[in-house]
Every structure is written in C-alpha cells, then in structure tokens.
C-alpha cells in the first residue's frame, strides 16, 4: 500500500499546494472558473477523443464493461432513494444524494490516478467508463431532477437531450469511437497537437480541485457528521459492493479493476454546479467534495493495493 501511495502522492501534493495558495489568497481572480472551463470543454474531451480514436473499438468486446458500470450507477441511484425513505429525508436531500451517490470524480481525479498506476494503455477503458457515467448522469439523473423540481413530465425529454448533446465529453466519445471503429488514421501533425493538449489535462484538473478545496468554509463538527458518513459510503462501501459482486460473479478483477477504482473516487464537482438550478443542498455537496477528496488520499491507495496485489 505504501508503494501505491508513493505513486499517486504527487497528484495529492498538487491538490494540497493549490488549496494552500487559494486559502492564503496567493491566487487572485477566478482561476478556478477559467481552468475548469478549459478542462471540461477542451482538455478532457480532447484526451477522451484521442485515446478512443487510436483504439479499435468493438461494442461487443466492451459490452461487459458497459453493463457492469451501468448497473452499478443505476443501483447507486436506487440506494439513494431507498436511504431517503428509510431515514425519512427531505425531498431536497434525496435529490442531492441521488446525484451524489453514483457520480465520483472519475474524470478530474480518476484519469490521473489510473494513468499514474496503470499507464496510458488504460486510457481507452477509462474514457469509456467516463462516458458511461456521464450518459447516465445526464440522462436518468437530469430527468429525475427535472421531474422532482418542476413536478411535470412536460419538457423533461427535451431538457435531458439538450444536456446530453451539449456535453463535450459525450461528443468526444461519439467522435472518438467513430474514428477508431472506422480505422481512420489521424495525420501525425494533428495527433501531436492533440497530445500537447492532453499533456496539460492532469495538472490542470488537479489544480482546479485544489482551488475548490481552498475556497471551502469550515463548519461545526455536528455539521460534518453526515458529510463523513457520506464519504464512507462513497469511498468504502460502494466500491466494496462492486468488488464483491465482481468477485462472486467470477468476472476478471484485472479487467474490471479500473471500474472499481472509478467507483472509489471522491465526489465530483458537477453536482455542485447543478445545485442552484435543481435546489440541491449546496453546502452538503461542497463539504462532501472536500471531505471525500481529502480522505481519498488514504482510501484510493487501499483499493488500488487490493486490486493490484492479490
């Protein structure tokens, strides 16, 4: 585990350094907004497109990966609804958990962690997993929020479709799969340009995470108790559930290792961005992002050790 921690620790050093710079106001202006836009709309889509465009893609071959990750996400949605009924949570909190339970930081932190531990050959599978998460998040997830917020089925389909067709990562997946499946060879000069952009993605997204943490506000211990409980669910319980289902099903842990690591990611920033639009608990989301990201410095090396060292 110490060896794994040593491998991914540079990632968290960048996050911590960025958080410190933000906390003590060494960084002025809206850096996080600019960098986040670059990463979300340019860097990550280019990385996803490039990795898939250079891979011979077969839906039949990737079907197990698609099915397992899809089932995991849908189960996460259902667990949020079940927990809401058991604990008699408010509608606002149920909506918040619905969007937070199954959507870890698979792109911003997931890709750097997987590449750091498994090498760049993991990128095609990682890109596909990201596409699966984004698809369900912006289809079933947005449809649920639209229905619960506006209490009407009218316009749900249109809003959901708009979110999907405007998503840069999903667009990159479609284009990347098309280019890879058709065997189209991109000119070397284009590939070189795209590779220069992808090289900037990892440090950029890590800085964005750090800046977000640096802007967070402290609360009371009582306020952090449900946040810590949520972090335990997402960092330990959920990936453990996926791990044991895969293990009991006699599926290959080597093949699905990246799926388990993605399932163990801390909460993503995206639900925070949707909080105002769909009346989610913004404070809970912000604190959960901070808590789960910090604690993942311990939990991620543990999960990677479990998968790699058996």
Give the number of other CB atoms < 10 A from CB of residue 46: 21
Give the residue-averaged pLDDT of 235-251. 90
Domain count, the chain: 1
Give the number of other CB atoms < 10 A from CB of residue 8: 20
Q: What is the pTM of this model?
A: 0.84
Look at residue 152 in the predicted model and tell me its pLDDT: 60
| Lowest-pLDDT choice from 12-21, 151-160, 189-198, 201-210 | 151-160
Look at residue 70 in the predicted model and tell me its pLDDT: 95
pLDDT tens track for 71-124: 999 999 999 999 999 999 999 999 999 999 988 888 888 889 998 888 888 888
d(CA 46, CA 242): 29
Percent of the chain with pLDDT over 90: 32
Look at residue 295 in the predicted model and tell me its pLDDT: 93
Look at residue 69 in the predicted model and tell me its pLDDT: 94
> What residues form DSSP beta bridges with 267?
104
Give the residue-averaged pLDDT of 151-160. 70
pLDDT class of 182 with cuts at 50, 70, 90: confident
Dihedral, CA of residue 302, residue 107, residue 269 and residue 10, to nearest 10: 50
Look at residue 67 in the predicted model and tell me its pLDDT: 94
* Residue 201 in this model has a pLDDT that exceeds 90: no
DSSP reduced 3-state for 267: strand
User: Whole-number mean pLDDT of the chain?
Assistant: 86
Structure tokens of 63?
């079907």
pLDDT class of 308 with cuts at 50, 70, 90: low
Structural domain that includes position 223: 2-308
Angle (deg, nearest 10), helices 201-214 and 44-53: 150
The 8 Å CB, 24+ separation contacts for 112-117 are 112/11, 112/202, 112/205, 112/206, 113/8, 113/11, 113/261, 113/265, 113/300, 113/304, 114/258, 114/261, 114/262, 115/202, 116/7, 116/8, 116/10, 116/11, 117/4, 117/7, 117/8, 117/261, 117/304, 117/308
DSSP string across 190-221: HHHHHHHHHTTHHHHHHHHHHHHHHT-----H
Structure tokens of 61?
């071959």
Q: CATH number for the domain including 184?
A: 1.20.1530.20
* Residue 228 in this model has a pLDDT that exceeds 90: yes
Give the number of other CB atoms < 10 A from CB of residue 220: 7
Look at residue 194 in the predicted model and tell me its pLDDT: 92
Closest CA to 139 of 166, 104, 110: 166
* Residue 216 in this model has a pLDDT that exceeds 80: no
* Residue 243 in this model has a pLDDT that exceeds 90: yes
DSSP reduced 3-state for 90: coil
d(CA 275, CA 60): 37
Give the residue-averaged pLDDT of 270-294. 88
Look at residue 147 in the predicted model and tell me its pLDDT: 84
d(CA 224, CA 226): 6
> What residues form DSSP beta bridges with 104?
267
């Amino acid at each position: 585990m110490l060896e794994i921690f040593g491998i991914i620790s540079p990632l968290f050093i960048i996050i911590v350094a960025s958080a410190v710079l933000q906390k003590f106001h060494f960084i002025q202006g809206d850096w996080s907004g600019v960098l986040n836009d670059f990463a979300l709309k340019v860097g990550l889509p280019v990385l996803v497109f490039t990795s898939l465009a250079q891979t011979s893609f077969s839906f039949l071959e990737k079907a197990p990966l698609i099915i397992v990750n899809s089932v995991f996400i849908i189960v996460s949605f259902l667990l949020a609804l079940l927990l809401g009924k058991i604990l008699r949570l408010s509608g606002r909190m149920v909506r918040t958990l619905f969007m937070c339970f199954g959507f870890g930081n698979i792109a911003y932190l997931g890709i750097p962690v997987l590449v750091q531990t498994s090498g760049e050959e993991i990128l095609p599978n990682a890109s596909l997993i990201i596409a699966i998460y984004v698809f369900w998040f912006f289809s079933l997830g947005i449809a649920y929020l639209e229905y619960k917020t506006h209490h009407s089925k009218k316009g749900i389909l249109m809003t959901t479709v708009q979110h999907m067709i405007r998503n840069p990562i999903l667009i990159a997946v479609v284009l990347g799969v098309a280019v890879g499946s058709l065997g189209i060879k991109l000119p070397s000069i284009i590939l070189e340009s795209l590779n220069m952009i992808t090289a900037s993605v990892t440090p950029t997204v890590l800085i964005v995470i750090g800046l977000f943490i640096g802007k967070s506000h402290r609360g009371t211990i009582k306020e952090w108790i449900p946040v810590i409980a949520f972090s335990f669910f997402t960092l330990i319980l959920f990936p453990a559930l996926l791990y044991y289902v895969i293990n009991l099903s006699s599926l290959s842990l080597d093949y699905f290792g990246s799926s388990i690591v993605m399932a163990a990611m801390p909460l993503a920033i995206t639900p925070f961005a949707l909080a105002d639009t769909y009346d989610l608990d913004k404070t809970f989301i912000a604190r959960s992002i901070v808590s789960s990201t910090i604690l993942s410095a311990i939990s991620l090396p543990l999960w990677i050790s479990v998968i790699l060292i058996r």
